[in-house]
Structure 1
Amino acid sequence: MTLNHLGVGQIATVTGVHSRNAERRRMFDLGILPGTIVETVMRSPLGDPVAYRIRDAVVALRHEQAEMIEVQMENGATPAEATP
């Protein structure tokens, strides 16, 4: 599952970053590494960008950037199972 599928308030762990070169380096510089816990904080009114809490900082990522980040929901739940 990729990061762009998380709903607001949902938490997941990064399992991989599927990008190359400068974009991959930028993700790593932002602290988006395998094992990092990420929480979706807020979606803009049109849905893009989305704010994520990453290592005590809030970072805005566009949909195409979030698609490159593979995550696993906390406790292994899928987004449908985790949504109240």
Structure 2
Amino acid sequence: MTKLSNLKPGQSGIIKNINLDGSARRRIMQLGITEGESIRVEKYAPLGDPLEISIRGYNLCFRKSEAEKIILV
């Protein structure tokens, strides 16, 4: 198991767990980031934060602090 924030551009994984509570978890899940979904890191910003991911056919940007809460298989 690894965190989403540990992946390098081009690497992918399957979401096992989302370690967020309350409104933050609800917002993440409304964006389509749910357990069992395949997720891929597209690229990092020049200073390393945020990162761009691809999930369900669209791209999103995340802060690294949020990406650390997403556990992958």
**Partner secondary structure for residue 31 of structure 1:** coil
More helix by share: 1
For structure 2, list consecutive stretches of 5 or more residues without a partner in the other structure: none
SS in 1 for 2:9: coil
In structure 1, C-alpha distance between the alignment counterparts of 2:22 and 2:54, rounded to whole Å: 24
Aligned pairs for 1:4-43 within 5 A: 4-43=5-44
Which residue number corresponds to residue 53 of structure 1?
54
Extract unaligned runs of 5+ from structure 1.
Answer: 73-84
Instruction: State the 1:17 CA deviation.
Output: 0.3
How big is the shift at 1:70?
0.5
Which whole-Å deviations, capped at 9, do the CAs of 1:40-77 have from their partners, x for residues lacking one? 001000000000001111000001100110101xxxxx
Deviation at 1:30, TM superposition (A): 1.0
Q: Percent identity?
A: 31
Q: Is 1:71 aligned to residue 72 of structure 2?
A: yes
What's the C-alpha RMSD, in Å, of the aligned pairs? 0.6
Q: Point out which structure has higher relative CO (alpha carbons under 8 A, 6+ apart).
A: 2
Q: Normalising to structure 1: TM-score of the pair?
A: 0.83
Q: Distance in 1 between matches of 2:12 and 2:69?
A: 17
TM-score (norm 2): 0.96
1:60 match: secondary structure? strand
1:46 is paired with a residue of what secondary structure? coil
